[in-house]
Homo-oligomer: A and B are copies of this chain.
Amino acid sequence: MSKKDDSVAAWRALLLAHAGAVRAIERDLVLAGTIPLSWYDVLLELNAAPDRRLRMQELGEAAVLSRTRVSRIVDELVVAGLVRREANPDDRRSAYAVITADGRRELRRVAPVYLDAVRARFVDNLPAKDVPAVRRAFEALLVASEPDEQRRA
């Protein structure tokens, strides 16, 4: 009943609901025969980035993937022809991942499936009046966790 209980209950509900929604969405995507969620996320971030490219590390942050995992997924996407790597002339240690024309085509093709899934498994089940608060709350959470990322360095 206390504020504390309410908070911990919110945390537990978040964990359960997140897991359920992600699983349901992934299942929808598999049934629809599209690319996996991780590919989709990476393509989405690349497509939205300036020049449709991101350094590996930036890509990892944007798509919530570890540096290692980004390397591996970009490998797969390169093999599939949806992304290519490109050297960074300004700093030759780093590498760009760039979405290809095929990648953009694929993204357009699967976007409706993905959006439908997110809508059906998340948005539509959220009380409409709570959506702004949810967005606000998690964006605040994001901002709060950024400084921590810095602190690691």
Contact = CB atoms under 8 A, between A and B. Distances in A.
Nearest to A122: B11
A19 interface: yes
Number of copies: 2
Interface of A: 3-4, 6-11, 13-21, 24, 64, 115, 118-119, 121-123, 125-142, 144-145, 148
Instruction: Report whether over half of chain A's contact residues are helix, strand or loop; otherwise say mixed.
Output: helix
Given A16-B142, A125-B144, A127-B140, 15 more contacts: A3-B131, A6-B132, A7-B119, A7-B126, A11-B118, A13-B134, A16-B64, A17-B138, A17-B139, A18-B18, A20-B141, A21-B145, A125-B145, A126-B137, A129-B133
